[in-house]
Amino acid sequence: MSLSRLTRALLGAFSALALVFVYAPLALVLLNSFNTSRTFAWPPTGLTTRWWSAAASSNGARSAIVVSLEVAIIATLIALLLGTMAALALQRFSFFGRDTVSLLIILPIALPGVVTGIALANAFLTIFGIRLGFFTLVVSHATFCMVTVFNNAMARLRRLGGNLEEASMDLGAGTFTTFRLITLPMLRSALLAGCLLSFALSFDEIIVTTFTAGSGIQTLPIWIYQNLFRPNQAPVVNVVAAALIVASIVPVWFAQKLAGTDESVAAAR
Amino acid sequence: MLWLGVAYLGALAALFVTSLWTVDGFTGVITREWTLQNFRDLATIEVYRSITFRTVLTAAAVTVIDIVIAFPIALYMAKVASPRLQRILVIAVLTPLWASYLVKAYAWRGMLSETGPLSWLARPFGLDSPGYGLAATVITLSYLWLPYMILPMYAGLERLPNSLLEASADLGAATGMTMRRIVLPVLFPAAVAGSIFTFSLTLGDYIAVKIVGGANQMLGNVVYDNFLTGNNMPFAAAVSTIPVVIMLVYLTAVRRTGALENL
């Protein structure tokens, strides 16, 4: 099939247009954070940095960022530990129902977040009788973060096969030495990618969070959501949103560095 | 593994069990009596039927829109763009995924507002921005999940060797014929894989609806409202089994296309 010149040009134009569609809303948020109008009237009549300094001194936003960071870090660490172990177990040993288990892994990604949220909240409240709070929030985040770590590790393990490890064992290395010198270095970039993804997911997750955080805990997305509909908070919310857009360049840059060795950063969600 | 098995499946099973209980109207305490009342309410009360219908329709619309937009982009990325441009485009498509979901929904609230750029753009043509409502929800959700559709389609087309396309042309097939016989079979499982995301994410969404959807409700809103404000966990649990059933039916239906291996 040779696409005609016209088709190629049309495809290119369409793609360019689609990219404009993708980036325009983000650019708008950035621009509005400097908009003098409180109601973001378009086109902007003037530019100001007033909202940025107002946001910098907003206590609510600042403490919400701290909570979000804590949750994301702890959840990622738990997910790293358990996700890696699960992947190793599933890859190395064949046991009854292994294929079913692999299908089950898809389930948490294939089911809507609202289901995960209410299922976990229900388990905490009615089955275990735990009050919702920081602990339940971290456990919930770790549950879906684990899936991303697991997926990344699993993809890498499947590609590597077990030959190098067998060679290491044949040369007299114990299980632990083999893990330390062979398996871990080969997995490192995949695990790093998984962690990066987990952290990002946890940091801006809101659906599961609203169900499992209880009323006392405010992560950054919850803070944004609660202030979204308050007109007098609008400029500050917009600045926080703009800052988050700028901050999202950091993981992209990281992922690009990792992508040299690992494509799965992109593929996994 | 145990964590996933016990925590996740156990929680799902418990959710189903809870949906068979009821809440005492006076004390708000969950009564552990077996009853199908919640499901009977779901099936008989008109509002819930129309909400379910609206949610599924929205999910289908979002999926179709994303397929239509994603196909030309994926084709351009995989078969027309130079390797360098290809890399840039992949990054350009991926980058918005790292931006917060909430921020993107919020960005559309700005785009669609009365005084926002869309109505400013449309006014010279005598049109207006769709405002907050179902149309705005579909637009926003299509926007949010678009990368999930582009990526599998691009990956599918990438794997399709150019020589196959040339061979088809050499054997006398016109572009349309090649599209139908060579490209489509590759694209179909990819689109299905993408649709699992677009469909499931839309089914469970209630934040974007709240932000740009006006007064419209989705299944997610019903679950959330019953859970939080209504304090009626059993009914919320019953409602949330609807998307689970829909997704399970969908997953079983598409399992044969081999799309699950593309996830």
Question: For residue B220, what are the CA distances in angstroms to A113, A114, A158, B76, B88?
Answer: 9, 6, 36, 36, 36
**How do residues A209-255 score in pLDDT, each as one tens digit?**
888 887 778 888 888 888 888 877 788 888 888 888 888 888 778 77
Q: Which of B144, B155, B160 is nearest to B90 (CA)?
A: B155
B30-31 and B22-23 as β-strands: parallel, antiparallel, unpaired? antiparallel
Task: Reduce the secondary structure of chain A to three states and give it as a string.
Answer: CCCCHHHHHHHHHHHHHHHHHHHHHHHHHHHHCCECCCCCCCCCCCECCHHHHHHHCCHHHHHHHHHHHHHHHHHHHHHHHHHHHHHHHHHHCCCCCHHHHHHHHHHHHHCCHHHHHHHHHHHHHHHHCCCCCHHHHHHHHHHHHHHHHHHHHHHHHHHHCCHHHHHHHHCCCCHHHHHHHHHHHHHHHHHHHHHHHHHHHHHHCCHHHHHHCCCCCCCHHHHHHHHCCCHHHHHHHHHHHHHHHHHCHHHHHHHHHHHCCCCHHHHCC
Whether A138 shows a pLDDT value over 80: the answer reads: yes
Size of interface A-B (CB pairs under 8 A): 245
- Does residue B140 belong to any structural domain of this protein? yes
Global confidence as pTM? 0.83
Judging contacts by C-beta atoms under 8 Å, the chain A residues touching residue B108 are 25
pLDDT of residue A267: 43
CATH node for A59-267: 1.10.3720.10
- Check if A14 contacts B (Cβ < 8 Å): yes
Q: Which domain holds residue B191?
A: 47-262
| Residue, of B35 and B67, whose pLDDT is higher | B67
Chain B closest-CA separation from residue A171 CA (Å): 30
pLDDT of residue B258: 61
Question: For residue A57, what are the CA distances in angstroms to B37, B166, B223?
Answer: 51, 62, 36
- Does residue B187 belong to any structural domain of this protein? yes
User: B14, A126: Cβ pair inside 8 Å?
Assistant: yes
**Residue A43, preceding peptide bond in cis (omega within 30° of 0):** yes
pLDDT of residue B133: 82
User: A266, B99: Cβ pair inside 8 Å?
Assistant: no
Whether B195 shows a pLDDT value over 80: the answer reads: yes
Judging contacts by C-beta atoms under 8 Å, the chain A residues touching residue B219 are 114
Question: For residue A161, what are the CA distances in angstroms to A154, A156, A171, A262?
Answer: 11, 9, 18, 16
Least confident range of A47-51, B27-31, B225-229 = B27-31
Chain B closest-CA separation from residue A108 CA (Å): 8
Whether B259 shows a pLDDT value over 60: the answer reads: no
Least confident range of A64-73, A80-89, B85-94, B174-183 = B174-183
User: What percent of chain B has a predicted confidence (pLDDT) above 70?
Assistant: 88
Chain B closest-CA separation from residue A12 CA (Å): 6
- Does residue B27 belong to any structural domain of this protein? no
pLDDT of residue B67: 93
Judging contacts by C-beta atoms under 8 Å, the chain B residues touching residue A6 are none
User: B103, A107: Cβ pair inside 8 Å?
Assistant: no
pLDDT of residue A248: 82
Burial class (CB in 10 A: 0-12, 13-18, 19+), B47: exposed
A81-B2-A91-B155 Cα dihedral, nearest 10 degrees: -80
- Does residue B31 belong to any structural domain of this protein? no
- Does residue B89 belong to any structural domain of this protein? yes
**How do residues B86-108 score in pLDDT, each as one tens digit?**
888 888 888 888 888 888 888 88
**How do residues A148-189 score in pLDDT, each as one tens digit?**
888 888 888 878 777 888 888 888 888 888 888 888 888 888
Chain A closest-CA separation from residue B44 CA (Å): 22
Give the Cα separation of A188 and A147 in Å (integer).
Answer: 17
Give the Cα separation of B1 and A101 in Å (integer).
Answer: 9
Give the Cα separation of B146 and A22 in Å (integer).
Answer: 9
CATH code (residue B199): 1.10.3720.10
Please state the domain extents for chain A.
59-267
- Does residue B129 belong to any structural domain of this protein? yes
- Does residue B103 belong to any structural domain of this protein? yes
Counted domains in chain B = 1
Residue B22's DSSP bridge partners are B31
Judging contacts by C-beta atoms under 8 Å, the chain B residues touching residue A114 are 204-206, 219-220, 223-224, 240, 243
